Amino acid sequence: RIYPLMRVTLTTSDGASVTVSRQLTKHSGFIEKAITDMAVDDNAVPLSAVAVDVDDATLKLVIEWLTEHRDDALPYPEKTDEERRADDIPAWDQAFVQKWDTKEDQQQTLYAVITAADKLDIKGLLDMTCKTLANKINGKTVEEMREILQLECDFTEEELAEIRKENAWCEN
């Protein structure tokens, strides 16, 4: 049972502390497991601090997303064999990530939030941010993908020829 008014203090990797409602942290598998493992009194306010391996700036973004999604149903729907798609990101989430487009380090911010969602086990945020990355790649040529991701071609001539033969139908 989750008590929505209960609060938990999170300490970040760069030493900051943030106190948030259990209504938000219930969406994080990592934090909920940490609270369970502490076996603290559920009535303790705030609960003992939970250390998260996420920096303060990234955690603020995570909390902003969790605040918007505090009423999302739990557990997060399990993945099925259905074809997955990246064009179904909710409008609020799209606006949330578009705000980073003006930042000089937008790609690093996206990377930080994806890894934070993974570490904190927040499945909805992880899916949404991975879809955002997929949308940045979607429709791009091989050369554009290399530029966005800064990846060198390390194939041998033979491997490259094989890839090109396999991709002849879809290379634009």
Partner 1 sequence: IAKKRRIDRKCEDYFPILSLPSELIGLVFSFLPIEDRMRLRVNKKLNAIELNSKYFVEKLHIFELSNKGVSHRGFNPRHYKKTSYSSDFMRRIAMNASIGILEIELNSPKEFHYDVYNLIKNFNIGTLKFGCIIRLLLISLKKMHINCLSFSLYIEPMS
* Cβ nearer to partner 1, comparing 99 with 146: 146
- Nearest distance in Å: CB 69, partner 1: 19
Tokens of 31: 């934090």
Q: Which of 40, 52, 140, 157 binds partner 1 (CB under 8 A)?
A: 140
* Cβ nearer to partner 1, comparing 10 with 126: 126
Residue 50 pairs with which residues in a beta bridge? Answer: 10
Contact 21, 3 (CB under 8 A): no
Distance CA 55, CA 62 (A): 11
Q: Which of 5, 85, 102, 158 binds partner 1 (CB under 8 A)?
A: 85
Contact 139, 151 (CB under 8 A): no
Is 139 an interacting residue with respect to partner 1 (CB under 8 A)?
yes
Q: Which of 38, 63, 111, 121 binds partner 1 (CB under 8 A)?
A: 111
End-to-end CA distance of the chain: 53
Is 38 an interacting residue with respect to partner 1 (CB under 8 A)?
no
Distance CA 151, CA 39 (A): 46
* Cβ nearer to partner 1, comparing 91 with 168: 168
* Cβ nearer to partner 1, comparing 12 with 132: 132
